[in-house]
Amino acid sequence: MHFNFKTNRIAIALAALMMVSGSMAWAQKLIDPKATKETTALYRNMHDLAKKHTLFGHQDATDYGHGWRDEPGRSDVRSVVGSHPAVVGVDIAPLTGRSKESIQKSEARLRKLVTDTYARGGITTISWHFSNPVSGDDFYWKDSVSLPAVKYIIPGGKNHQDYKVILQGLAGWFKSLKGANGEQIPLIFRPYHEFDGDWFWWGKAHCTPDEFKSLWQFTAGYLRDSLDVHNLIYAFSPDNKFNTVAEFTERYPGNNWVDLVGMDNYGDMGRDGKYDLKQAIKKLKIVNDFALENKKLAAMTETGLESIVNPVWYTDVLLKVLQTNKLNLAYVLVWRNDTKSPTHYYAPFPGHAAVPDFKKFFDDEYTLFESDLKNIYGK
């Protein structure tokens, strides 16, 4: 069977890596010195696996898919290849800016998604399409409606206390995520993504670099040091607007505040029929090299081709971009499969023309899915 063969090779490779590195102090440390042992193990194991593999991720994979919702055990990816993605994206947008009753319902639903993924041995990454906490509209910037909330919610801002209350609510949910033995479930937390664009209220046009850094540092510091949240891996992910290391790091809050660096890139990967794979490869190498130099994880935190209109996109585009340079990428995540839209999907489902190619992508030893992971939270 493919699963066993591939998994055994990975187990042997991991064991060899542990023998080599086991006697040495672990060089890549989380920014949280009190991180739980499971969170620390996940970080270490992702570093090890990234030397030869990249984990495949899909946003909202187990919550809903093309034409379905709320069917435990289902994902479009599993329906095609027999395994869930190794990384499942979950968005905590419903946990802020809603009524108390709505938030409580969403907390329970999302908690189950995270807990089920952890129980299967998979990994959860958290994004946050955070509704504007000052002007009260959604996460997108709307001219003449939205307010530049960053300057208001950072320390010294008139809405800073409101923001602390919001983080207190999130901290309670983060800490409520427990495994079978009562241990807290590790998460990759990726707030304020695509900040180099202007479409979100935290975007480049709506706050200065120093304001953004202050927001990031306060958020991570308050969760970690004041609210005792110790199960997070903090991920920094701009869009693809950079061309140099200096541009990539313009809003970087510093090595003491980030565990993982990534890039969201749809624009170079076929969106609107436009491919610039040389640029995608170049930018991914910038991310990868910065991560290696600064002892961070690296990832392609979002990508995809809507409707997968190119049926060989997964092997002919994505795999080539990932493998052109010998990169150490922890994971790549494609965006969601909307339950109602006939066109808004990024992973194939049964009957789609991209299924044969996706199976080749799955079979490639470079890619890891949930069925390939063994004891990702242990030694």
Per-residue confidence band for 4, with pLDDT thresholds at 50, 70 and 90: very low
The pLDDT score that the predictor gives to residue 379 is 81
Token code pair at residue 146 = 């939205």
What is the average pLDDT across 263-269? 98
Q: Which of 38, 107, 211, 302 is catalytic?
A: 302
Which range (4-8, 265-269, 284-288) has the least confidence?
A: 4-8
Containing 287, the helix (H) or strand (E) segment is helix 277-293
The pLDDT score that the predictor gives to residue 24 is 36
Q: Is 107 among the residues known to form the active site?
A: no
> Average pLDDT of the chain?
94
The pLDDT score that the predictor gives to residue 30 is 98
What backbone torsions phi and psi does residue 167 show, to the nearest 5 degrees? Answer: -65, -35
The pLDDT score that the predictor gives to residue 12 is 46
The pLDDT score that the predictor gives to residue 28 is 75
What is the average pLDDT across 131-140? 96
Closest CA to 329 of 50, 80, 52: 50
Residue 11 has pLDDT above 80, yes or no: no
Residue 10 has pLDDT above 80, yes or no: no
Residue 119 has pLDDT above 90, yes or no: yes
Residue 22 has pLDDT above 90, yes or no: no
Q: Is 194 among the residues known to form the active site?
A: yes
Per-residue confidence band for 8, with pLDDT thresholds at 50, 70 and 90: low
What is the average pLDDT across 266-270? 98
Per-residue confidence band for 241, with pLDDT thresholds at 50, 70 and 90: very high
CATH number of 38-372: 3.20.20.80
The pLDDT score that the predictor gives to residue 7 is 53
Residue 21 has pLDDT above 50, yes or no: no
pTM, 2 dp? 0.93
Q: Which of 107, 194, 211, 370 is catalytic?
A: 194
Residue 5 has pLDDT above 60, yes or no: no
- Binding-site positions read 129, 199, 266
**Cβ–Cβ under 8 Å, residues 374 and 86:** no
Burial class (CB in 10 A: 0-12, 13-18, 19+), 1: exposed
Residue-range domain boundaries for the chain: 38-372
The pLDDT score that the predictor gives to residue 286 is 98
Model confidence over 270-298: pLDDT tens digits?
A: 999 999 999 999 999 999 999 999 999 99
Model confidence over 165-216: pLDDT tens digits?
A: 999 999 999 999 999 999 999 999 999 999 999 999 999 999 999 999 999 9
Burial class (CB in 10 A: 0-12, 13-18, 19+), 179: middle
Model confidence over 67-99: pLDDT tens digits?
A: 999 999 999 999 999 999 999 999 999 999 999
Q: Which ranges constitute the DSSP H helices of 126-263?
A: 150-153, 160-176, 209-221, 245-248
Distance, in Å, from the CA atom of 248 to the CA atom of 242, rounded to the nearest integer, reads: 5
Q: Percentage of the chain surpassing pLDDT 70?
A: 93
Residue that the structure tokens 């994979």 belong to: 61
- Binding-site positions for substrate read 129, 199, 266
